[in-house]
Amino acid sequence: MFDTAKTETKLELDGVTSGYGPIAIIKDLSLSIRKGEIFALMGKNGMGKTTLLKTILGLVSARSGEIQLDGRSIVGASPKALIKSGVGYAPQEQPLFTDLSIQDNLRLAIRSDRDLGAALEHVFTHFPFLRDRLAQQAGTLSGGEQKMLILSRALMLKPDLILIDEISEGLQPTVIAQIAKALQAEQAENGTTILLVEQNLNFALDVADRWAVLKLGEIDDSGIADADSRERVLEHLKI
Ligand SMILES: Nc1ncnc2c1ncn2[C@@H]1O[C@H](COP(=O)(O)OP(=O)(O)OP(=O)(O)O)[C@@H](O)[C@H]1O
């Protein structure tokens, strides 16, 4: 639930415009994510949710506006530099090396093998099935298991901020529940800030402290996640 103590800003976007070629997808968007909160960003297909995450990460350039992480500008920073400064990313597209083992996929997320043992133990607390499956080829995991591996990779460095893109897509409720539990544990135990792009309203509003709906690259509505949020968000997602 929303904690009024969470007032410090972790990520601030101010008047951000970005897109592809001459087309602006994100339009003069301002958004403030507080330290330690789970923030759900929802919206219909093609509204710019992924583009927004990619703009924060520097994978898509911001044409104008300001993006600050912990009060410092990150406009123009490389994705690698952002990951080094504590940002994790679980992309929507399957980013696994399917012919490599689970362990090798996880190893690629850390800088030095010296950190491997501790990082693995960290992700095993959320997804214990990985412990006995480290040698298995990632491509042979089920869809749900692959999603848990993608999230685990983003969690290997214990990021302060995680950007997660439609992790629940195509997953059965038990796997979604496991992922929800993992995110809530990260938030509660490590004070992790989570920006969750989602289409699954129930999952998003269950775990989120606050939410916003993106429409054609602009914030159309936003609020605290409470009993009335579901109906309000649903209205925005209608055709
Ligand atoms: N590389 C690209 N080049 C040109 N246009 C793109 C590119 N990537 C996305 N777009 C366009 O930008 C718009 C927003 O796409 P984006 O993937 O950000 O939306 P989304 O809200 O995440 O959608 P979904 O929920 O379907 O994943 C869409 O019209 C899409 O076609």
What is the span of the domain harbouring residue 196? 9-237
Report the complex ipTM.
0.96
Q: Is the pLDDT of residue 94 over 80?
A: no
Assess whether pLDDT exceeds 70 at residue 5.
no
User: Would you say residue 3 has pLDDT above 70?
Assistant: no
DSSP designation for 143: H
* Residue 166 falls inside a structural domain: yes
Q: Is residue 41 part of a domain?
A: yes
Ligand 1: atom nearest CA of 51 is 18
| Pair of tokens at residue 165 | 């893109």
If DSSP codes are grouped into helix, strand and coil, which group holds residue 93?
coil
Protein residues with CB under 6 Å of any ligand 1 atom: 20, 25, 43, 45-51
Q: Is residue 3 part of a domain?
A: no
Per-residue pLDDT, 38: 98
Please check whether residue 49 lies inside any domain of the structure. yes
Region 196-208: what's the mean pLDDT? 96
Pairing of strands 38-42, 87-90: unpaired
Q: pLDDT digit string (tens) for 113-127?
A: 888 999 999 999 999
> Quick check: is 89 in a domain?
yes
- For residues 229 and 215, give the distance between their C-alpha atoms in angstroms, rounded to a whole number: 17
Domain count, the chain: 1
In a domain, 80, yes or no: yes
Give residue-wise pLDDT tens across range 52-63: 999 999 999 999
CATH number (domain holding residue 174): 3.40.50.300
Q: What is the mean pLDDT of residues 104-118?
A: 90
* DSSP H helical ranges for the chain: 49-57, 79-84, 102-107, 116-126, 143-155, 173-190, 201-207, 229-237
Is residue 40 over pLDDT 80? yes
The model's pLDDT over 43-86, given as tens digits with 9 standing for 90+, comes to: 999 999 999 999 999 999 999 999 999 999 999 999 889 998 99
Q: Does 2 fall in a domain? A: no
Local confidence band at 95 (pLDDT 50, 70, 90 cut-offs): confident
Structural domain contains residue 1: no
User: What is the whole-number distance in angstroms between the Cα of residue 52 and the centre of ligand 1?
Assistant: 10
Residue from 23, 25, 198 whose mutation best tests the ligand 1 pocket (most atoms within 8 A of CB): 25
Phi, psi (degrees; rounded to nearest 5) at 88: -110, 155
Residue 68 CA to chain centroid, in angstroms?
Answer: 17
pLDDT at 6: 67
pLDDT at 150: 94
Mean pLDDT for the chain overall: 93
Does residue 1 register a pLDDT over 70? Answer: no
